[in-house]
């Protein structure tokens, strides 16, 4: 195989594959990118066996064929090159030569036939979502996925389609048992998707889908059996879904609120960051007290000291006092766009719900903790 290809286009594609390829694996071939050249194009493939990426690029194909290239080393070589054109040529005994006309690299590679077979699901119903909308949904949920190894059934974002008053929405929900984030967005033709029972997209898959979406422009997405498929221009992403039953999340979402206060998002975000200064693994709670038009925040650590901040609010009801993890507030508030947010409480043993007028369809829910 021998190809000549635009360096910038190749670098963009190889960059997309970096977080997919396995750097420490019992299968060295998973750290490579497969090049398959034919006609006037080259197809790049990368996989970790649970997540597959493929992209077709225009190229001058001098000699057709397939080779594998170390994904990490190719990325580093392309990044350091300033040339417009890049040449990749297969040599004898599983060696390849990479050149930009100035620098040259000879690398050992793995036979292409050892690369795992990439199977694209066929006849997948797809819908188109604007990249900024999809990225917003992912950013509003991905932080709430559990990081605990024992929490397999919570280790992804639950995705389903819902209908409210005749309107159809795509819903994403994530929880780690201590907090929950949920967002609904109207998506044209969402009823076409096979999401009657919902689907669990793993965190790594959501991160890669977010990369697609964050580049801007529309993204096509579809579901079939055990896979989620996403397309953007000439790039394809296939994500293996988690075979786990997501808990009944609606049971923990309060239907109404006894107490509701409004305040500036950045003011609360700054206050919570201050409460984090004295926290550690043992002491990481902030006590929130509402009384006499004041929200009082206190974070105490017996080993270090105490932090306190008072915020003016419009509240004259009964005194309420509850403890929360300030990190959870920071994660929710950073994902929002609203200048002013709404905090809702039932009592000190129920979750706090956070909403914002400019974050339509989104709620963040934080469970209380002992202080």
* CA–CA gap between residue 50 and residue 122 (Å, rounded): 18
35-73 pLDDT tens trace: 999 999 999 999 999 999 999 999 999 999 999 999 999
Q: Report which of 346, 342, 360 is spatially closest to residue 317, judged by C-alpha positions.
A: 346
Whether 321 and 288 have beta carbons less than 8 Å apart is answered as yes
262-283 pLDDT tens trace: 999 999 999 999 999 988 878 8
Residue 119 domain flag: no
Grade residue 22 by pLDDT with cuts at 50, 70 and 90.
confident
Mean pLDDT of 96-121: 92
Residue 130 domain flag: yes
Q: Is it the case that residue 86 has pLDDT exceeding 90?
A: yes
Sheet architecture: strand order including 259-264: 199-202, 156-164, 167-175, 179-186, 362-366, 352-356, 340-345, 259-264
Tell me: do 191 and 203 sit in the same domain: yes
Q: Decide which of 94, 114, 134 is a domain's last residue.
A: 114
Q: How many helices (H) and strands (E) does the chain have?
A: 6, 25
Whether 244 and 156 have beta carbons less than 8 Å apart is answered as yes
Tell me: do 208 and 181 sit in the same domain: yes
Residue 300 CB: number of other CB atoms within 10 A? Answer: 17
Residue 371 domain flag: no
Q: What is the CATH number of the domain that holds 13?
A: 3.10.150.10
pTM of the model: 0.92
Q: Is it the case that residue 23 has pLDDT exceeding 90?
A: no
Residue 102 domain flag: yes
Tell me: do 178 and 264 sit in the same domain: no
How confident is the model at residue 257, as a pLDDT?
Answer: 83
113-132 pLDDT tens trace: 999 988 888 999 999 999 99
Helices 203-214 and 131-139 cross at an angle (nearest 10°) of 140
- Which residues have a Cβ under 8 Å from the Cβ of 270 and sit 6 or more positions away? none
Q: Decide which of 63, 83, 114 is a domain's last residue.
A: 114
How confident is the model at residue 166, as a pLDDT?
Answer: 83
Tell me: do 241 and 275 sit in the same domain: no
Tell me: do 198 and 268 sit in the same domain: no
Tell me: do 240 and 266 sit in the same domain: no
Residue 222 domain flag: yes
Whether 98 and 88 have beta carbons less than 8 Å apart is answered as yes
| Structural domain count of the chain | 3
The boundaries of the domain holding residue 10 are 2-114
Tell me: do 78 and 189 sit in the same domain: no
Tell me: do 211 and 100 sit in the same domain: no
Q: Report which of 66, 90, 67 is spatially closest to residue 2, judged by C-alpha positions.
A: 90
Tell me: do 13 and 43 sit in the same domain: yes
31 token code pair: 């750290």
Whether 267 and 226 have beta carbons less than 8 Å apart is answered as no
Strands (E), 94-190: 95-99, 104-108, 126-130, 156-164, 167-175, 179-186
Tell me: do 64 and 145 sit in the same domain: no
What secondary structure does DSSP assign to 279-309, as a single string?
Answer: --SS---EEEEEETTEEEEEEEETTTEEEEE
Q: How many residues does the chain have?
A: 371
Residue 347 domain flag: yes
175 token code pair: 């929880």
225 token code pair: 């059996």
Tell me: do 260 and 362 sit in the same domain: yes
Q: Decide which of 250, 269, 288 is a domain's last residue.
A: 250
How confident is the model at residue 371, as a pLDDT?
Answer: 66
């Amino acid at each position: 195989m021998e190809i000549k290809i635009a360096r910038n286009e190749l670098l963009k594609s190889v960059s997309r594959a970096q977080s997919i390829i396995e750097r420490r694996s019992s299968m060295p071939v998973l750290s490579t990118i497969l090049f398959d050249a034919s006609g006037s194009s080259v197809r790049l493939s990368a996989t970790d066996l649970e997540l597959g990426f493929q992209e077709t690029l225009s190229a001058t194909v001098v000699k057709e064929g397939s080779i594998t290239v170390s994904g990490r080393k190719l990325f580093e070589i392309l990044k350091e090159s300033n040339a417009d054109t890049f040449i990749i040529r297969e040599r004898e005994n599983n060696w390849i030569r990479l050149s930009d006309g100035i620098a040259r690299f000879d690398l050992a590679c793995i036979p292409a036939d050892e690369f795992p077979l990439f199977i694209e699901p066929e006849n997948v119903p797809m819908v188109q979502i604007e990249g900024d909308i999809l990225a917003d949904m992912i950013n509003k949920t991905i932080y709430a996925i559990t990081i605990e190894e024992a929490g397999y059934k919570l280790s992804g974002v639950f995705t389903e389609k819902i209908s409210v008053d005749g309107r159809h929405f795509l819903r994403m929900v994530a929880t780690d048992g201590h907090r929950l984030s949920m967002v609904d967005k109207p998506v044209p033709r969402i009823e076409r998707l096979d999401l009657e029972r919902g689907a669990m997209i793993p965190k790594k898959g959501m991160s890669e889908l977010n990369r697609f979406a964050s580049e801007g422009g529309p993204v096509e997405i579809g579901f079939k059996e055990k896979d989620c498929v996403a397309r953007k221009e000439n790039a394809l992403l296939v994500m293996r879904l988690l075979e786990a039953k997501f808990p009944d999340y609606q049971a923990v979402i309060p239907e109404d609120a006894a107490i509701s206060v409004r305040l500036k998002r950045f003011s609360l975000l700054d206050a919570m960051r201050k409460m984090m200064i004295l926290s550690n693994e043992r002491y990481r709670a902030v006590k929130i007290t509402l009384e006499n038009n004041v929200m009082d925040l206190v974070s105490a650590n017996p080993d270090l000291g105490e932090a306190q901040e008072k915020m003016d609010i419009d509240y004259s009801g009964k005194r309420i006092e509850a403890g929360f993890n300030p990190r959870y507030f920071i994660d929710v508030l950073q994902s929002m766009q609203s200048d002013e947010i709404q905090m809702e409480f039932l009592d000190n043993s129920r979750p706090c719900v956070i909403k914002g007028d400019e974050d339509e369809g989104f709620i963040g829910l934080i469970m209380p903790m002992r202080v």
